[in-house]
Amino acid sequence: MILSVSRRTDVPNYYADWFIHRIEERFLYVRNPMNTHQISRIDLSPDVIDCIVFWTKNPANMIEKLEWLKDYVYYFQFTLTGYGRDIEPGLPDKREELIPTFKALSEKIGKEKVIWRYDPVLISKRYTVDYHLKAFEEIAGSLADYTDKVVISFVDLYAKTQRNTKGLGIKQMTNDEITGLAAQMAQIASKYHLIIESCAERINLQKVGIQHGCCIDKKLIEKILGCKLIGEKDKNQREECGCLESVEAGTYNTCLNGCKYCYANFNDGQVKENVKSYNQDSPLLCGNIDSEDKITDRKVKSLKDTQLSFFD
Bridge partners of residue 3, in order along the sequence: 52, 247
Domain ranges of the chain: 2-297
pTM for the model stands at 0.94
Let me know: does 259 contact 252? Beta carbons within 8 Å.
no
Angle, CA 9 vertex, CA 8 and CA 14 arms, to 5°: 165
Q: 139 φ, ψ to 5°?
A: -70, -40
Alpha-carbon distances, residue 262 vs 12, 17, 39, 208, 259 (angstroms): 17, 23, 24, 27, 6
Reading the chain (312 residues) residue by residue, the pLDDT tens digits are 999 999 999 999 999 999 999 999 999 999 999 999 999 999 999 999 999 999 999 999 999 999 999 999 999 999 999 999 999 999 999 999 999 999 999 999 999 999 999 999 999 999 999 999 999 999 999 999 999 999 999 987 666 666 777 778 899 899 999 999 999 999 999 999 999 999 988 899 999 999 999 999 999 999 999 999 999 888 888 778 889 999 999 999 999 999 999 888 888 889 999 999 999 999 999 989 999 999 999 999 999 997 655 445
DSSP codes of every residue in 240-254: T--PBP-EE---SS-
Q: How far is 161 from 239, CA to CA, in rounded Å?
A: 19
Strands 149-154, 195-199: pairing kind? parallel
Contacts of 58 (CB under 8 A, 6+ apart): 10, 12, 13, 91, 92, 97, 98, 101, 257
What is the four-CA torsion angle of 78, 84, 90, 92, rounded to 10 degrees? 70
**How many CA atoms lie less than 13 Å away from 112 in the CB half-sphere?**
9
